[in-house]
Structure 1
């Protein structure tokens, strides 16, 4: 449980604090960066802790041992994606255009989350602490109640269900609109999107040895998630009216039709985001075929 718990403590505050509109669209430049201290601090802490752990591990075992260089690259790429989604002007624009908001959320859920999970924060963050602290953290995270909660949240079916629930629930017009106008709800929205995505990809990519998941089940998780997210994207794209009232004024202020803005956002969820799940499933199937071919050789 240790790595993802630490990941939640470091990355979820960053996601939660990002993109809470506080001014009318005319008063906010769409090219404004988000340098909120807690946001930047959380991101820097997450990366620093990871790189410190990798440095200590490689100093002990040799460069590239324990955690491969490509694994580190995956984590860094995921971290940079978080910066793009939460710090860059995309965050500000997401408060004014639904389509930009969708790009922001998909960056969090289908790019940043899997890359961070592939980056194996378990080994890196464990090595960032002194031996005594590592042992204490290990005992705590493996204790009965904590271990039980972790096993439940990373169960493939539970992780799939929580992620699906977060996606569909927050896109209900009344909930999504409320999140745009109430800071606390928007904090919860971003945290639930990123948090459930981390648990989903942790389960789908089989990073918990205590959860036995085969390639077939993993592909099933990815395929069914692609189906229901594509259905939601299609509903948004084909809707004849704008669902989210706050975006009507902000998109009009930028000279963009609200319905067309919503349709574009739906297409983002429908096509490129859905493609990410398909590509991931194909990669898993490809690895399975390679292993089977090697076993027969």
Structure 2
């Protein structure tokens, strides 16, 4: 399945899954209201539809061919894990808790960008989703994404510098206090925030996990990971070491959990700074190990005997 297929499908799913993923809670109801599960109809429908299509497509592929069965199983496991991560972010009590605690909100964002997004890229679900559709629909969709404008946009979006820059703008832009506060107040804007986090993360992880051929592609992937680790760590450090809280919306709600707003912000900054940075570091080391393994495979040792 080509890159444009994956990008369009995952973006549509991301928009549907996040369109109603957050609803503001009334602080007057008490802190225990934040611990409820969220069952937004649009989110549940998008989640169930995506899983149903995947099961149907996977079953049809298993019937048609046995080639690549092990690879498909690995992809299916990655998709299911990413799907469950989205459920934790949007359906579990973590979603409601994010309206009360900045730190919980940061955990939700990190799950979207560092857990769900890379797993969905590894899962490559759109190819399986397409096999759940009739043959005529598959043909029409395939012709649509082969259009020159679509392929040109895809090539530009998946340039390492483009994906890296879009991810940086989404991260830093939405953490500007005025933008963050506006997203907390307006559910539609909050859906845009979540969608931009997830879509930019999907693009970023696509350039990292499916880099362009050759050593230059892996080199750009490592550079993207290390520089992203640096700038997200800097944002986390600013949040952690700030002398005063940035977001007034959490002044009262954090106290329901025994925290003041500054302590809550410091905890959220540490979530972005330490576990988030560690995730990027592990990914960079994995890319480096894959790069070295490919070099060793392609270049025989000096003492190796010539092939007769």
TM-score, normalised to structure 2's length?
0.90
The 5 Å alignment of 1:257-272 reads 257-272=260-275
CA displacement, residues 63-119 of structure 1 (integer Å, 9 cap, x when unaligned): 753843122101100110000011000111111000000000000001100000001
**Equivalent in the alignment of 2:295:** 292
**Equivalent in the alignment of 2:158:** 154
CA displacement, residues 213-266 of structure 1 (integer Å, 9 cap, x when unaligned): 611111111111110000000000000111000011111233211101000000
Distance 1:269 1:225 in 2: 12
For structure 1, which runs of at least 5 residues remain unmatched after alignment? Answer: none
Distance 1:45 1:63 in 2: 27
CA drift of 1:26 comes to: 2.9
CA drift of 1:57 comes to: 1.3
For structure 2, which runs of at least 5 residues remain unmatched after alignment? Answer: 301-308
Q: 2:247 aligns with which of 238, 244, 247?
A: 244
Distance 1:26 1:240 in 2: 30
**Equivalent in the alignment of 1:117:** 121
Greater mean deviation of Cα atoms: 176-185 or 45-54: 45-54
Distance 1:185 1:62 in 2: 45
Q: State which structure, 1 or 2, has the greater radius of gyration over its C-alpha atoms.
A: 2
CA drift of 1:4 comes to: 2.2
Tell me if the contact between 1:3 and 1:126 (Cα under 8 Å) persists in the aligned partners.
no
Tell me if the contact between 2:16 and 2:43 (Cα under 8 Å) persists in the aligned partners.
yes
CA drift of 1:126 comes to: 3.0
**Equivalent in the alignment of 1:221:** 224
CA displacement, residues 5-35 of structure 1 (integer Å, 9 cap, x when unaligned): 1222223221231122142253561220001
**Equivalent in the alignment of 1:103:** 107
Distance 2:183 2:216 in 1: 35
Report the RMSD for the aligned CA atoms in angstroms.
Answer: 1.9
What SS does the corresponding residue of 1:103 show, helix, strand or coil? helix
Distance 1:84 1:95 in 2: 15
TM-score, normalised to structure 1's length?
0.94
What SS does the corresponding residue of 1:18 show, helix, strand or coil? coil
**Equivalent in the alignment of 1:88:** 92
The 5 Å alignment of 1:1-297 reads 1-24=4-27, 26-27=29-30, 29-62=33-66, 64-65=68-69, 67-206=71-210, 214-297=217-300
Tell me if the contact between 1:18 and 1:86 (Cα under 8 Å) persists in the aligned partners.
yes
Distance 1:23 1:216 in 2: 48
